Amino acid sequence: MTETTAPVADASGQPSKAASRRGRWLRWGVLTVWGPGLVVMLADTDAGSLITASQSGAQWGYRMVLPQLILMPILYVVQEMTVRLGIVTKKGHGALIRERFGRFWAWISAFTLFASAIGALLTEFAGVAGVGELFGVSRWVSIPVATAALLALALTGSYRRVERIGLVIGSAELAFLVAMLMARPEPKALVEGLKSMPLGNSSYLLLVAANVGAVIMPWMVFYQQGAVVDKHLSVATIREARHDTAAGAVLTQLIMISVVVTVASTIGAHGGQGALNTVGDIANALTPYLGRVGGTVLFGLGMLGAALVAAIVSSLAGAWGLSEVFGWKHTLNERPNRATAKFYITYGLAHVIGAVLVLASVDLVNLAVDVEVMNALLLPIVLGLLLALEARALPEEWRMRGPRKHIARALCLVVMGFGLYMVPQALGWT
């Protein structure tokens, strides 16, 4: 990737002259370092994840809150490894796989990543269409407008600008926290729910596995590693980058918890039945309890922000991954030219394909199941390669050691196990 025009920090760990000129409020370098972790975590709470959280709250109430809390450290452990790999090696995830394990594994990871990114885009565009329809806007208007905006965003010639816009869009997800307060959850019932995790129930365990798949997504690994490289963070900023990732992990899970609690306090507490498979299903079910403002406006606003920021992140992850495998120049810090044309074409095609499939009224329910299965199968490959890179691609002083290494590996194995557990259920084999 190319150098940015204003590195965040020099080798001594002090802010660069260019960064210092931005103003006194940037003198600690924190605001110039933070971003990749928050953006990727806000994207993690995408349309599919929010639908999964809604189903969890409706079916199991507050008993689905504890799994979301447990997922916070797991999410941080996975993404923190990508931060160290990107900052220390100055290479993206796909490039490191190609360098360490050869083109075969690089091609497998990149093409499955791109397929996963297309699947994610389908979910996000379906979410955008659903929000539009809540307010009487046809998908033939909302989808083309969203596609054009996302394509234009990548042409700004600055990763930092894309990141800031992503943060602004993703902040709309905070509407879910307001909706949770409007739902007035009962504290005593919430505490009781935290004490119960009926893992012996296959239905509960399947939803837990679905939540694991909704929180740990393959394209997140590629995005955050590529983002810290494109932002040109130095090793002096790793501490701040870790804080960025930790804050993002807490924020995204708080959003998931807010959706679980909102639905549990309303639909779940009143024995609400019926499918919650689309934005419209959930909004219509919430409206009798929260009114139009809470059920439609706040939910729609949060879902729109989640879908758009996830569309940005998943498409960039796919484009970065393929570019790294094929050795194409890839950076958001330059406008399209002959050198970066293949990267931008890949990014654009991802959005166009996703938009066309949604507008063509493809069977999105079955397609969503297929994407879920693909992500579940991809997790063991992605996390396995991530752990191998952490152990081999980093200098000794930057590798995990002692209890931390064993805990991280154990958590990754749990995620991989849950991912594989989802496959037979999703395929209808059990």
> Which parts of the chain register pLDDT below 50?
1-9, 11-13, 15, 18-20, 22-28
pLDDT of residue 26: 45
What is the overall mean pLDDT for the chain? 83
pLDDT of residue 268: 79
Burial class (CB in 10 A: 0-12, 13-18, 19+), 263: buried
Q: Report how far apart, in Å, the C-alpha atoms of 239 and of each of 63, 130, 160, 267, 338 are.
A: 34, 40, 19, 42, 37
Rounded Cα distance, 275 and 58, in Å: 10
pLDDT of residue 417: 80
pLDDT of residue 154: 85
Rounded Cα distance, 266 and 286, in Å: 7
| Residue range 147-179, pLDDT digits in tens | 999 999 888 878 888 888 998 999 999 999 999
| Residue range 245-299, pLDDT digits in tens | 999 999 999 999 999 999 999 887 776 655 677 788 888 888 888 888 888 888 8
pLDDT of residue 210: 79
**Residue 130 in contact with residue 284, Cβ under 8 Å?**
no
pLDDT of residue 27: 43
| Residue 408, token pair as written in the block | 């991280």
